[in-house]
Amino acid sequence: MSPELPKAPYYKALGRKIALAIAAVAFIPYALTYFVFYSNFQESIRAQVLNSVRQVVESHQRTIDDFLNERLSDLNYTANLHTVKELSQPTEIQGILNSVNAVYRVYVDLGFLNSQGRHLAYAGPYGLQDADYSEAFWFKEVMSKGVYVSDVFKGVRGVPHFIIAVKVSRDGQDYLLRATIDIAQFTSLVEGVRLGKTGEAFIINREGLYQTQSRSHGSLLSPSDLPISEYFAGVRVYENITRRGRSVVVAETWLKYGQWLLICQQDTEDAFSQLAKTLNLAIIIGGFGLLIVTLTTVVITRSLVGRIAQADREKELLNEQIIQSGKLSSLGELAAGVAHEINNPVAIMIEEAGWVQDLMTDEEECYKQSPHREEYERALQQINTQGQRCKEITHKLLGFARRTDAPVELTQINDLVHEVVDLIERPASYANIRIVQNLAPNLPQVNASPSELQQVIINLLKNASDAMENTGGTITVSTKAAGSMGVILAVSDDGPGIPDSVLPRIFDPFFTTKPVGKGTGLGLSICFGIISKLGGKIEVASSKDTGTTFQVHLSAVSESMLAAAGNKSVPVPRG
């Protein structure tokens, strides 16, 4: 029988309960913390991403408004700085164009027009001196409002551009200073915006035409498919699904007094890629934590259940020992009672036989002739002899019983060996097993419970005789002093020996090679327990077909300890 637990399902259930408890205690705060942090973190990163998009739009809104305002103030400044006469000179205009382009090359051309929409002077590469703008929309706008910034349009030349113009009033006459803005210079302000991989900025006008190139949406002046919202102040940030099914983050604001809409748009996936990365990391860390918690739970549960099982086994073993010693103790009491009760009738029988012998001695003459005289004497002698035998048996029983509960005391191992061998010798002889005692005289005493030591000797002898049950053989029980402080008790048999595979386990509780029901597997375990408790050790040496020897080492009681304890032996006349 292997020392497997008889209650495996119980331990499985126990393990499950413990694991669940540990897991619950560990998981719940872990999960709560994790999800609270996770969601808070997600919220804040989200807000941060949206905010950064908003900021990009805000700063570009300022840049673009500044750019347009600067251009207008350039024109106003130029108009105020020069007289009409000067502005009407083509060479003068060319000079002005050169000087305003000195810093940035933003002006393509510059023209000074009269109120009929005719150029008084023009500087620029397009040769527009004779162009007539009197019917142009922008011309009318400037004349009525004084300032004008056009949308991007292709105009007379078919090249996308936009113009700005200011009205100049001198001496009751209205003039107009007009400049074409380099579209490239302007769009670079917007198209230069990069946000992640997909983020871009572009401008559409109220009609939904692209005022700047859009990388992913459309070319300049092509119609946009984006919805045009009503004018609003400030920046609006929202998430949207485009017509092509992409999820995007959009920030938009109105420019140029509600004429242009600056849109900054980025794919949601792209915008939140950092967040996604971080969250992925969080999930990995979370999963890792989960794994550790699970592993720890498993490990702790296993070790706990293992320990509980071990403790249960030990408890069971202890119970077994208690039951065993209880059994021995009650058996001992019973035996003692029986022994005492038997002593009286046996004494009477012996005395009566003695009395008959007495009478026969006295009346010898009468029996001399009897042919059965010797038989009478023999029979009476037998009664005496058998009575004495009964007495010996009861004495042994009493000796056994008296010690079942005895505490630790000075014990002579040789005496115990005698007693145990007396008990076992006869049943062993039925199996052709001879028991040889090879006991050292003057063996030091040991401090031990005699009943426990007796149990050890009984177990060792019984094991030895069980091993040779079928073959017969010789068991040698020997004692000797080991040095000045030790006693060695050895029980050797010449049986089949213990196989190597079994040898390391023989002291394990519940380990037995005997058939089910024949052995508890506790004998050697109990021996081991008893000897260990006494501070001794028990060793085994076995070889195949040669036999097995168990050696018990115990520390002896020294002379000085004996003297201190006082001589306890009682001078009882032998009866």
- Could you say which of 247, 388, 429, 471 contacts other proteins (CB under 8 A)? 388
Q: What backbone torsions phi and psi does residue 308 show, to the nearest 5 degrees?
A: -60, -45
- Could you say which of 81, 228, 291, 347 contacts other proteins (CB under 8 A)? 347
Instruction: Quote the CA–CA distance of 27 and 33 in Å, as a whole number.
Output: 10
Coil/strand/helix, residue 385: helix
- Could you say which of 391, 396, 505, 553 contacts other proteins (CB under 8 A)? 391
- Could you say which of 352, 363, 469, 500 contacts other proteins (CB under 8 A)? 352
Contacts (CB under 8 A) with other proteins, residues 399-418: 402
Q: Is 358 in the site for other proteins (CB under 8 A)?
A: yes
**3-state secondary structure labels for all residues of 172-235:** CEEEEEEEEECHHHHHHHHHCCCECCCEEEEEEECCCEECCCCCCCCCCCCECCCCCCCCCCCE
Q: What backbone torsions phi and psi does residue 536 show, to the nearest 5 degrees?
A: -100, -170
Q: Is 348 in the site for other proteins (CB under 8 A)?
A: yes
Contact stretch for other proteins (CB under 8 A) within 36-44, 340-348, 426-434, 504-512: 340-348
Helix, strand, coil fractions of the chain, as percent rounded to 5: 50, 20, 25
Contact stretch for other proteins (CB under 8 A) within 73-81, 260-268, 384-392, 492-500: 384-392
Q: Which is nearer to other proteins, 324 or 343 (CB)?
A: 343
Least CB distance to other proteins at residue 513 (A):
40
Least CB distance to other proteins at residue 456 (A):
23
Q: Which is nearer to other proteins, 516 or 570 (CB)?
A: 570
Q: Is 469 in the site for other proteins (CB under 8 A)?
A: no
> Are residues 553 and 541 in contact, defined by beta-carbon separation less than 8 angstroms?
no
Least CB distance to other proteins at residue 331 (A):
17
Q: Is 197 in the site for other proteins (CB under 8 A)?
A: no
> Are residues 53 and 195 in contact, defined by beta-carbon separation less than 8 angstroms?
yes
Q: Is 387 in the site for other proteins (CB under 8 A)?
A: yes
Q: Which is nearer to other proteins, 8 or 348 (CB)?
A: 348
Least CB distance to other proteins at residue 527 (A):
27
48: left (phi over 0), alpha (psi -120 to 50) or beta: alpha
Sheet holding 200-205, edge to edge: 200-205, 260-267, 247-255, 235-241
Q: Which is nearer to other proteins, 159 or 565 (CB)?
A: 565
Q: Is 565 in the site for other proteins (CB under 8 A)?
A: no
Whose structure tokens read 């490239």?
184
Least CB distance to other proteins at residue 360 (A):
12
DSSP 507: T
Sheet holding 147-149, edge to edge: 119-123, 107-114, 173-181, 162-170, 147-149
Question: Could you tell me how many residues of this chain bind other proteins (CB under 8 A)?
Answer: 25
Q: Which is nearer to other proteins, 72 or 398 (CB)?
A: 398
Q: What backbone torsions phi and psi does residue 550 show, to the nearest 5 degrees?
A: -100, 130
Binding site for other proteins (CB under 8 A): 340-341, 343-344, 346-348, 350-352, 354-355, 358, 362, 387-388, 390-391, 395, 398, 402, 570, 572-573, 575
